[in-house]
């Protein structure tokens, strides 16, 4: 087989890139090691920046999102039961965020790809990128026990944090910067109305909690948990009790509980791998970076990576220029590090660290005081939360 761009990974990064390339007349094939159903079974991000929403429109797959998404102008932060609303819309000069689940976004991208008859090879085993430091890269894989090869001009490594591209590059000059947090997030998805019309981020003595949502009838909640926790040890009732312990009484009494559609524990880490280009292999999304979900940046960073990479590939094929590809890594990393800073900061302010001192706790309280009383501090938060410019 031959294609212009071989994309490894059928998550949001790979699918969005594939759709944009196709609409620009650039041929591409996507490979993933798991089934479509497996990918759609993952419950992940819920908050989209305006930039991601615009990318979905640009890719021609924004119709359902525009119909079904919830537009949020702000969110609440709770410290020691004191509630403070961050007025995103007015602090950011009129920007807001879109609440629309990653699962739905991935579904929309997959549906569009299938409707266009584009090639996605699921359950491809032992996918390997080859000769990307030369002019003729290719990808090999096994499907139904048969070895296959795809010759291409470029390879896009959109295969996430545990993907093969990171592994192949880890001893080839890639530099990785990492911070692991001493806690995780236990998440629960349920078909119950959200407790509030906007998100609520909580710093409580028992730990962080987040009240999020997917629609007016489906809610997503998280509580900070120890890294040693096993999701099998948690029932939905135990989760609801712990969540309500961490909310202000008035809010806790309004929580509508129900059976869990899904429960899972996500570890929290900050990771950046540099550079994001190795010859004709380009990394995008979680394959190159991970952020703690506190700032809702993970999926949104994948969008800006794809934006820069797509522009570079389009220039290569349509304008015969490699200027965009030559600055891809530098451009993407600039925005990535700013989002890493924001996600680290928001995680540091909102979580209870096992080893935190009384000094650390006072600093957290001072951070919250700044957000409540300084327009400059809350404006900086708002500008980062709605998304820095591409
Ligand atoms: P993905 O990991 O989504 O997709 C990579 C794809 O590559 C997968 O389908 C995988 O099967 C495939 N792949 C991997 N190795 C391969 C190989 N060797 N060969 C072929 N295919 C291979 N972000 C938020 O903003 N908010 C959140 O609340 C949030 N929660 C998260 C919870 C968890 C458990 C995780 C892991 C991430 C979470 N994220 C969250 C971040 C998440 O949304 C990512 O940013 C987003 O999935 C990035 O998309 P991709 O870069 O496409 O990577
Ligand atoms: C979610 O809805 O999954 C979500 C929302 C905001 C975050 C993290 C996760 O900061």
Average pLDDT over all residues of the chain: 97
The CATH number of domain 182-267+354-386 is 3.30.9.10: yes
The mean pLDDT of 297-315, rounded to a whole number, is 98
pLDDT band (50, 70, 90) for residue 171? confident
d(CA 132, CA 136): 7
Ligand 2 mutation pick, 12, 99, 199, 215, max ligand atoms within 8 A of CB: 199
> What angle is formed at CA 354 by the lines to CA 213 and CA 300, rounded to 5 degrees?
35
pLDDT digit string, tens, across residues 211-235 = 999 999 999 999 999 999 999 999 9
Tokens of residue 32, six digits = 């993933």
CA 275 / ligand 2 centre spacing (Å): 28
Tokens of residue 69, six digits = 């998404």
pLDDT band (50, 70, 90) for residue 170? confident
Report how far apart, in Å, the C-alpha atoms of 294 and of each of 22, 139, 305, 342 are. Answer: 33, 35, 20, 9
d(CA 249, CA 254): 9
Tokens of residue 295, six digits = 């700032």
Q: Point out the catalytic residue in the list 100, 138, 201, 328.
A: 201
8 Å CB contact between 150 and 138: yes
Of 367, 299, 342, residue with least CA distance to 77: 367
**What integer pLDDT is reported at residue 172 of this predicted model?**
76
For this structure, is 316 an active site residue?
A: no
For this structure, is 297 an active site residue?
A: yes
The mean pLDDT of 324-341, rounded to a whole number, is 98
- Classified as helix, coil or strand, 271 is strand
For this structure, is 369 an active site residue?
A: no
d(CA 190, CA 197): 16
- What's the burial of 124, exposed, middle or buried (CB within 10 Å: 0-12/13-18/19+)? buried
Instruction: Say which DSSP state 134 is in.
Output: S
Place of tokens 């944009």: 20
- Nearest-CA residue for atom 31 of ligand 1: 44
The mean pLDDT of 100-117, rounded to a whole number, is 97
What topology is assigned to 5-69+100-177+269-346 in CATH?
Answer: FAD/NAD(P)-binding domain (3.50.50)
260 CB-near residues (< 8 Å, 6+ apart)? 188, 189, 190, 236, 239
Report how far apart, in Å, the C-alpha atoms of 112 and of each of 18, 41, 200 are. Answer: 10, 18, 33
Helix axis angle, 298-318 to 50-58, nearest 10° = 40
Mean pLDDT is lowest, of 17-21, 163-167, 231-235, for 163-167
The mean pLDDT of 145-157, rounded to a whole number, is 97
8 Å CB contact between 191 and 258: yes
Q: pTM surpassing 0.95?
A: yes
**What integer pLDDT is reported at residue 131 of this predicted model?**
97
8 Å CB contact between 337 and 310: no
8 Å CB contact between 138 and 152: yes
Tokens of residue 304, six digits = 């800006």
Rounded to 5 degrees, φ, ψ at 194 are -60, 150
**What integer pLDDT is reported at residue 304 of this predicted model?**
98
For this structure, is 22 an active site residue?
A: no
Percent of the chain exceeding pLDDT 70 equals 100
- Domain ranges within the chain, ordered by starting residue: 5-69+100-177+269-346, 182-267+354-386
The mean pLDDT of 242-264, rounded to a whole number, is 98
Is residue 290 over pLDDT 80? yes
Helix axis angle, 298-318 to 12-23, nearest 10° = 30
pLDDT band (50, 70, 90) for residue 173? confident
- What's the burial of 331, exposed, middle or buried (CB within 10 Å: 0-12/13-18/19+)? buried
Ligand 1 mutation pick, 16, 32, 140, 296, max ligand atoms within 8 A of CB: 32
Is residue 280 over pLDDT 80? yes
């Amino acid at each position: 087989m031959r294609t212009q761009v071989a994309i490894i990974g059928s998550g949001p990064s790979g699918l969005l890139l594939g759709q944009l390339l196709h609409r620009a007349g650039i041929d591409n094939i996507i490979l993933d090691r798991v089934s479509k159903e497996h990918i759609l079974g993952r419950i992940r991000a819920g908050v989209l920046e305006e930039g991601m929403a615009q990318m979905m429109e640009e890719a021609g797959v924004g119709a359902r999102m525009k119909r079904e998404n919830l537009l949020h102008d702000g969110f609440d932060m709770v410290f020691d039961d004191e509630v403070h609303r961050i007025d995103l819309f007015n602090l950011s000069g009129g920007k807001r965020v879109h609440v629309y689940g990653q699962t739905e976004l991935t579904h929309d991208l997959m549906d569009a790809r299938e409707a266009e008859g584009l090639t996605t090879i699921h359950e491809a085993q032992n996918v390997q990128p080859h000769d990307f430091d030369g002019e003729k890269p290719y990808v090999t894989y096994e499907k139904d026990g048969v070895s296959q090869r795809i010759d291409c001009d470029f390879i896009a490594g959109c295969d996430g944090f545990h993907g093969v591209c990171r592994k192949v590059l880890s001893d080839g000059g890639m530099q990785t910067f990492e911070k692991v947090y001493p806690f995780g997030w236990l998440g629960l998805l349920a078909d119950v109305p959200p407790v509030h019309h906007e998100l609520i981020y909580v710093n409580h003595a028992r730990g962080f909690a987040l009240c999020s949502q997917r629609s007016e009838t489906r809610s997503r909640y998280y509580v900070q948990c120890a890294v040693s926790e096993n999701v099998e040890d948690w029932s939905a009732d135990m989760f609801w009790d712990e969540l309500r312990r961490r909310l202000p009484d008035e809010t806790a009494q309004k929580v509508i509980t129900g059976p869990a559609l899904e429960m899972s524990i996500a570890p929290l880490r900050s990771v950046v791998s540099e550079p994001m280009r190795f010859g004709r292999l380009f990394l995008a999304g979680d394959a190159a970076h991970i952020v703690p979900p506190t700032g809702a940046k993970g999926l949104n960073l994948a969008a800006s990576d794809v934006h820069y990479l797509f522009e570079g590939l389009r220039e290569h094929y349509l304008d015969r220029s490699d200027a965009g590809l030559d600055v891809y890594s530098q451009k993407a990393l600039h925005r990535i590090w700013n989002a890493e800073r924001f996600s680290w900061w928001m995680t540091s302010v909102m979580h209870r660290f096992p080893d935190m001192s009384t000094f650390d706790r006072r600093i957290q309280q001072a951070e919250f005081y700044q957000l409540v009383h300084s327009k400059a501090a809350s404006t900086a938060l708002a500008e980062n939360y709605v998304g820095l410019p591409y």
